[in-house]
Amino acid sequence: MKPKTTLTITAFFGFVFSLVMFVAPEFITREQFPNSEGQGFADLVTVRYAIASLILALVIITYHLRNIEGLDFQGNIMRGYTLAFSVICITTLVLQILGKISAVPPIVGTGLVAALSFISWLSLAKSSDKN
């Protein structure tokens, strides 16, 4: 898979997650922390806005990275995305397993992006071996 395609898909997923967090932070918070209430719930909703803005910032950066040329640059970017999204996926999965949060959509989304980034990285490595 080409890095530009992977980064486009990554930006799309990130945009959807960010948009949902901006539009429905109470719903997301209630899904992840069903027992929260009062000031704790209000604080968690506020944190959702901060997380949504961080995700949107990453989406904007990701979208602009799509046009970087050169196998070395693209390989470094794909390796970074593979590692970063794997860490997020594993952390979220562990929190899900421990019962700390309910986070199936983020686990699926970050896992998919990590897998796509890994495939793109391998594809770039094979291309550079041919040259």
Per residue of the chain (131 residues), what is the pLDDT tens digit? 788 999 999 999 999 999 999 999 999 999 888 889 999 999 999 999 999 999 999 999 999 998 888 888 999 999 999 999 999 999 999 999 998 888 899 899 999 999 999 999 999 888 877 76
Sign (positive or negative) of CA dihedral 113, 115, 118, 123: negative
Q: Which residues contact 72 (CB under 8 A, 6 or more apart)?
A: 128
Share of the chain residues as helix, strand and coil, in percent rounded to the nearest 5: 85, 0, 15
* 3 and 120 Cβ atoms separated by less than 8 Å: yes
pTM: 0.79
What are the domain boundaries of the chain?
3-130
Query: How many Cβ atoms from other residues are within 10 Å of residue 61's Cβ?
Result: 12
Q: Are 124 and 3 in contact (CB under 8 A)?
A: yes
